[in-house]
Structure 1
């Protein structure tokens, strides 16, 4: 019998320094940014003309201790329904405002299995929600269809 093959194991890690007290929000964000890197793709169609601003965000959260941990289509063939999963990372509770660049027709809470719960009517492109320490919030968003005068 030959010598058994030993697999090569690669371990990636990141080290950061800071001054002052430990910041759970920054540590969590650093870990997520290291482990879940942004994926991008080139889109050849869809945009016509210049964008309204130099930079845009799909979603904007007003609390740094809430992270978007998932953003995906509800179903593979769904064009207007999306699931957004949020995680509170610092052990605090409070109120959250979520703004969307895209017009939202409907927003509702969903379970972790993405079964719908109560509906939260958005105010144009603003969703308000309460959160508890370390809570995971799943929302189902229904986007308004694109109109002809929108870029």
Structure 2
């Protein structure tokens, strides 16, 4: 478990939401997560046992979780209030359509991500209401920039 967290850069105190979700993801199986994450992106690339896609997917997910946490903080929530979102954020990132959207950030010609679909998916999953100042578009833009750096 620790090996994946080290590779993803998540061993240091990564935040209220980030670390517990990534730790649980590793327990559940990082390999399956990476397969869903890159369902359409990089699907024709075959790697060996230490699949770099798993490392890239973990790093990208860590960045995404940090951005969500940052938006919750910017929206004026206390650390205790942010903690209440852990279960919902975990459910959100477990959704296949969310994984596909996040995986599309790895397409080299990708110029934007569908922030509106992320927002709609959050609502359709009937998750806790987000603060009015929470901005999915900001997350999508910053996430795409971060993923391009990972590439």
TM range (shorter): under 0.3
TM-score for both structures, normalised by structure 1: 0.28
> Is the helix fraction higher in 1 or 2?
2
> Is the strand fraction higher in 1 or 2?
1
TM-score for both structures, normalised by structure 2: 0.28
Q: Considering only CA atoms, is the larger Rg found in Structure 1 or Structure 2? A: 1
Instruction: Pick 1 or 2: higher relative contact order, CA cutoff 8 A, min separation 6.
Output: 2
